[in-house]
Structure 1
Amino acid sequence: MTALHSPLVRFILVRLLYTVAVLLGVIVAVFFLMQVVPGDPVRIALGTRYTPESYEALRSASGLDQPLASQLMSYVGNAFTGDLGVSFRNSEPVTTMLFERLPATITLATAAIVVALLIAVPLGFWAALREGRLADNVIRVVSQFGISVPDFWMGILLIGLFSTALGWLPSAGYQPFADDPLGWFEHLVLPAITVGVVTGAIMTRYVRSSVLDVVNAPFVTTAESKGLSTRRVLLDHVGRNALVPVLTISGIQFAGLLGGVIVVEVVFAWPGLGLLVYDSVAARDYPVLQGAILLIAVIFLVVNLVVDILYAVIDPRIRLS
């Protein structure tokens, strides 16, 4: 069997084709979304700087003086080459602005998902193995409370305690790791905990449900009847088979965090994609807003593609479906 005829390779190629098709649809949808926004974006962007000459110059530079079909074809072609236009506010390339914000977003999302997994995996496993007991009930109540708490409120509480009252950590801002590793860590702790606790509460319930499904499966009962130790049953049978659903929610949550946690980033003045989206909406900077939405969509697609491939690697049945 050649590599091209391998089930795993075919699975990956099909998923890649799906991803490209969905990406094309997203680009077209983002383009038309901006077309239906009320008001003239060029006029709004110029504000008090408006003159007939500056208005026409910005419309021409943005390609908005062309027919709609030409604008669409140009936007799709430029988007696939990474050209997302220029900002109305400062005439800076949108792609440059997005990738300047991306490191802060990746830092926060990665730290938050680590915090979430450190919370969700042990608590979810413990709750499932103690189903119906006190520990299970307590964990379920606490996780429901974590889901219900607004992340911005938790962020404000953490700032009030650790920044204002105790003075242990900075209340806002971002420090690049290369400039100051300790400062980078200190600025990261509070927003990462804020996002990670809320995300961890959501994931705990998924982990618990996934483990329960596997624990009650016949093959686990068979393994126990053969005299295998509890540790081996949990590691070799329960852990591996419960991994696929956990991988699903982890990928979805991570993609959402990479898309920017807008409110948390505003609270902590974290210079990521979420804060950029907020600033772009406030300034009616539609090219930047279009680019940010498109980048977030691409992040979701890439993460979902990676998760699908990991599914197929973990469970061969998926690649044959």
Structure 2
Amino acid sequence: MAFVLRRVGHSLVVLLGVTVVVFALVHLVPGDPVRIAMGTRYDPDVYAALREASGLDRPLLEQYVAYLGSALTGDLGVSFRSGEPVTTILLSRLPATVSLAVAGLVVALVVAFPLGVYSALHHGKASDVIVRIVSQVGVSVPDFWMAMLLILLFSSTLGWLPPSGYVPLTEDPVEWARRVAMPAVTLGLVAGSIMTRYIRSSVLEVLGADHVRTAESKGLRERVVLGRHVVRNALVPVLTIVGVQLATMLGGVIVVEVVFAWPGLGRLVLDAVAARDYPVVQGAVLLVAAMFLLVNLVVDLLYARVDPRIKVSR
């Protein structure tokens, strides 16, 4: 419990720092959000009234203090562009981001775990070299190129999957699966290529440990040695990269969301930056930072479940 409280305290400090950095950066970006929102319907009196209503006429420090006070109560402000509460906008985009991130992580684990373990068990052989080459290609291929190839093959040529769009999981699970398939594969193949290399290295390191050689000398079956003594111990360092990849996906992979017209947080931030919609940018970045910290906390707690030698109470 002490460990959890300490980590939560650290996370709150980090979130405070995030609010300072993001608030400063968005106000350094050239462009007047009120003027952009008005478009061609510019009127000096309306312009002045909107700036006063949005608080942009006040000093930056005063604006930040007001924003921080509202954020602590769950009020992240109102969008300059749509006039909707930022919290409402974020909550409407969150399910799409979470569903895509989870689907992408599942694809990544399905690809990375067997390939990483197989490559480590066949270290130095031709199959190991092939796996390493394939994983390196997966890391090097740009997201947008892989996404376009998938659309060309499965949508334009074969006609099996829709090229873009989003349907909520709760409305139509089958249609959601059809539409999430290509974005998830795009994310999963890239993340899986990265994770394959980490899993291979981790399994190789454990295979050379003394306790594995002792288990083998006792005559235990290879399956038992692999499951009890190799894979479980190799999972500890692998959890870190899994958590990082999941947090990255939750943060919104902008290119993938734009290509597949996926209404997630990444695309929301891109549109908000273009429109100088400060409240939406600040709220979205704050939410992403909170999810990233939450994932890291969960990963730390999982360490103790995977490896009993780790004591989180210390």
Coarse TM-score class (shorter-chain normalised): over 0.9
Structure 1 residue 317 corresponds to structure 2 residue 281: no
Q: Which amino acid aligns with 2:155?
A: S
2:138 to 140, 146, 156: 146
Residue 176 (structure 1) shift: 1.4
Structure 1 residue 244 corresponds to structure 2 residue 229: no
1:176 corresponds to which residue? 168
Tell me, in whole angstroms, the C-alpha distance in 1 between the residues paired with 2:231 and 2:138: 25
Residue 43 (structure 1) shift: 2.4
Say if 1:84 and 1:95, in contact at 8 Å, map to a contact too: yes
1:103 to 63, 86, 95: 95
Structure 1 residue 136 corresponds to structure 2 residue 128: yes
Q: Report SS of the residue matched to 1:64.
A: coil
Q: Report SS of the residue matched to 1:319.
A: coil
Q: Which amino acid aligns with 2:310?
A: R
Residue 154 (structure 1) shift: 0.7
Identity of aligned residues (%): 62
Tell me, in whole angstroms, the C-alpha distance in 1 between the residues paired with 2:131 and 2:233: 22
Residue 318 (structure 1) shift: 5.0
2:288 corresponds to which residue? 296
Alignment of 1:1-321 (within 5 A): 9-315=1-307, 316-319=309-312
Q: For residues 84-139 of structure 1, what are the alpha-carbon distances to aligned partners after superposition, in whole Å with 9 as ceiling and x for unaligned?
A: 11111111111111110110111100000000000000000000111110111000
Tell me, in whole angstroms, the C-alpha distance in 2 between the residues paired with 1:104 and 1:204: 26
Decide which moves more: 38-47 or 246-255: 38-47
Tell me, in whole angstroms, the C-alpha distance in 1 between the residues paired with 2:222 and 2:241: 26
Residue 177 (structure 1) shift: 2.1
Q: Report SS of the residue matched to 1:86.
A: coil
Tell me, in whole angstroms, the C-alpha distance in 2 between the residues paired with 1:252 and 1:274: 16
Superposed structure 1 runs of 4+ greater than 4 Å apart: none
Query: What is the root-mean-square deviation of aligned Cα atoms in Å?
Result: 1.4
Residue 15 (structure 1) shift: 0.9
Q: Which amino acid aligns with 2:38?
A: L
Tell me, in whole angstroms, the C-alpha distance in 1 between the residues paired with 2:41 and 2:91: 28
Tell me, in whole angstroms, the C-alpha distance in 1 between the residues paired with 2:135 and 2:178: 26
Say if 2:33 and 2:275, in contact at 8 Å, map to a contact too: no
Unmatched runs of 5 consecutive residues or more in structure 1:
1-8
Tell me, in whole angstroms, the C-alpha distance in 1 between the residues paired with 2:177 and 2:205: 38
Unmatched runs of 5 consecutive residues or more in structure 2:
none
Tell me, in whole angstroms, the C-alpha distance in 1 between the residues paired with 2:79 and 2:141: 36
TM-score scaled by length of structure 2: 0.96
Q: Report SS of the residue matched to 1:169.
A: coil
Tell me, in whole angstroms, the C-alpha distance in 2 between the residues paired with 1:41 and 1:312: 48
Q: Which amino acid aligns with 1:306?
A: V
Residue 38 (structure 1) shift: 2.1
